[in-house]
Amino acid sequence: MLMPAGVLIVLVLASIAVDMALVQLRQRQAYDLAAAAANDAVTAGADPVALRRGEYRLDADAAESVVATAVQASALAGSLAAPPTVDITAEGLVVTISMTADYVFAGVIPGTPDGTTVTATATATAEDGTP
Residue 3 pLDDT: 87
Residue 40 pLDDT: 94
pLDDT band at 15 (very low <50, low <70, confident <90, very high): confident
User: Exposed/middle/buried for 120, CB within 10 Å: 0-12, 13-18, 19+?
Assistant: buried
The more confidently predicted of residues 84 and 55 is: 84
Q: Residues with Cβ < 8 Å from 103, sequence gap 6 or more?
A: 19, 22, 23, 112, 113, 114, 115, 116
Tell me the pairing of strands 85-88 and 115-125.
unpaired
Residue 112 pLDDT: 84
Which of 24-28, 31-35, 41-45, 71-75 bottoms out in mean pLDDT, i.e. has the lowest?
41-45
The more confidently predicted of residues 123 and 51 is: 123
Query: Is residue 131 pLDDT above 70, yes or no?
Result: no
Query: Is residue 110 pLDDT above 90, yes or no?
Result: no
pLDDT, tens digit, 9 for 90 and up, residues 35-49: 999 999 998 988 888
